[in-house]
Structure 1
């Protein structure tokens, strides 16, 4: 088992859930845990594993996000449960919605352990969207994260493709962002290499534990590198999520080529390192090659294929320009720029 202490404690190994959960509960004095999960994990074997792994002297209450009322209602209900059940710690188990909610409600005092089950997030970077619809907001870091690839094998091909593309784009944009952070650059490039090499295999064979492990490692890298900031692809995804029900990583697949080409004049001198990470020839176009990868794993390359029409683009573009991710985009992008790019891929 590897214990990584960079920003927070990260346990990374197959079946690390059984190896490290009791240790972290004891370390943080958690005797009554609130388990925050989501609909996709509510009846899963993974949730059963979490409950069975709890020490006999640790009580628990389970909250399932997304069962009515929206994110705001979830947040209020979790706060009530924490008080009513006398919980002294939180376990976030599942995908982005569960982990973000757990981070938001843990506050400054309650210890928080997160257990990701999909490769779209590991619960370190900026939040996806909070209870008030805002994006890019930072919340507290978890006290510990348990990265166990055996918990990710239940994700289907589309969820795997979207989650893997999410990790890929986060690594790519962290590397290209305007902030200066050499350690984050190295972490982002390593994550980019891992996800590009193994994403297709993980989509094709959900039981390929080696590929799943590499995707989880790439998601970890993306979370650690996110301290540096993201860019226009993330900003545009935030804008489109606010006006549609589209999945984050699916949007990334459609947006990447147009926005990467827009940013190219400002960062083309860094493309040689990206080509090395992606194992591309010296003159290859990273935007074109990544679009080919997105198409091969079943992600749409046009917004219309996702159900997004032209009427929502002005609002989405304004939100993209206002997103915190736009502040570290390598080239200044206005709402008009975002709207033009979105229309180009309708």
Structure 2
């Protein structure tokens, strides 16, 4: 089976090996003549980034780049990116990379023409209507990992550098105009990042599947996304050049992000404040807290997980699925708990406060309270 396709769900996605060469055509489709490529510090010096810049330059699009992006991007990174965008006279953004590069690139395009501070557009009620929609620049998204699925999302996660809180900034027009999903760009991902980003996709699918909200479309997408990660993440981890596994994981990542329109839950409610305070890798943190959260939600999700386990070919119902998650984490070299992850002197009260304030709590199957969240957090150490 050839893993090449054009999808228009939820945006225009050009999926397949080698399709990075279509970058100029994608820019033309989005009406971009002078793009700024936004990526992170780690990706900037790599061959795949040079390749993208060469393709841009050969097409007369220049080779504008901004790469001062931290693993957990902040408003400081955003301000620096906006300065480069405006000074260079750019008219659109190529968001290039994993979650951090994609999220910050989307925010540069979003904020380029706004006059209010970014925090005024947090995903609260209808705050997004405060933005000037006409001033949002077009976005091309080029994922280079297979985890966040930010390329098909209408929001970005931004860490407030002063309060160390992660905030979700939302607007419908933050959805990229065109996505180039080229699995060849993910071949150089180190095993550790392959594991962490892959488990991020798994967490998105799992939490969406367990969320109590009504959204049957997302439910189905989440279930098949779980299957793809189960089948292909071990292969991609074992052999980074397995292009079929890389492609299927790229699809699973996009599916997870589409599915979590149905909601996230306690996994993300914990990992957001932990990542903001201790700078841990987001997907890896999700993987570390996954088993404790499954146990925490057991009474509410047992029957649903039994159905998922049957579809995934996992025997033993809930207990079998729980054991599978532990075995998968172990096989991928994921730390066994938060202490092993490096969170050695935790401010548990601050984590609990952050978790309960996180919008992901609303999608958890069990109502999160101060007491039961404390017990959950203790179980993660």
**TM value normalised by structure 1:** 0.94
- Is structure 2 residue 368 aligned with structure 1 residue 333? yes
Which of 250, 268, 285 aligns to 1:251? It is 285
Q: Which moved further from structure 2: 83-92 or 63-72?
A: 63-72
For the pair 1:305 / 2:340, whether they are aligned, the reply is yes
Gaps of 5+ in 1: none
Aligned to 2:119: none
In terms of mean alpha carbon deviation, does 175-184 or 159-168 score higher?
175-184
Unmatched segments (≥5 aa) in structure 2: 111-132
The 2-side partners of 1:272 and 1:67 are apart by: 39
Q: Structure 2 CA distance, aligned partners of 1:271 and 1:70?
A: 34
How far 1:130 sits from its partner (Å)?
4.0
- Cα RMSD (Å): 1.9
> If the length of structure 2 is used for normalisation, what is the TM-score?
0.86
The CA deviation string for residues 225-249 of structure 1, in whole angstroms up to 9 with x for no partner, is 1211111111111121122121112
Residue matched to 1:209: 243
Residue 142 of structure 2: which of 115, 118, 133 is its match?
A: 115
- Is residue 182 of structure 1 aligned with residue 182 of structure 2? no
- Would the alpha carbon gap of residues 298 and 120 (structure 1) be closer, same or farther in structure 2, given more than 3 Å must change? same
* Paired residues, number: 345
**CA offset digits 1:62-111 (Å, max 9, x no partner):** 00023799722221121112211110110011111111111112124311
Asked whether the equivalents of residues 109 and 139 of structure 2 are also in contact (C-alpha less than 8 Å), the reply is yes
Residues 30, 178 of structure 2: 8 Å contact kept = no
Contact 1:255/1:301 (8 A) holds in 2:
no
Give the structure 1 partner of residue 100 of structure 2.
97
Secondary structure at the residue paired with 2:38? Answer: strand
Query: What secondary structure does 1:300 align onto?
Result: coil
Q: Report if aligned partners of 2:38, 2:65 keep a CA contact under 8 Å in 1.
A: yes
State the alpha-carbon separation in 1 of the partners of residues 336 and 370 from structure 2.
21
**What are the superposed Cα offsets for residues 217-272 of structure 1, whole Å, 9 maximum, x if unpaired?**
11010111121111111111112112212111211222111111111111222113
Deviations along 1:130-173, whole A, 9 cap, x unmatched? 45543344341111111111000111111010011000011010
* Structure 1 position 128 matched with structure 2 position 157: yes
Q: 1:112 to 1:131 in 2, by over 3 A?
A: farther
Match of 1:14 among 14, 17, 26: 17
Inter-CA distance 325–284: structure 2 relative to 1 (3 Å threshold): closer
Greater CA drift, 180-189 or 2-11:
2-11
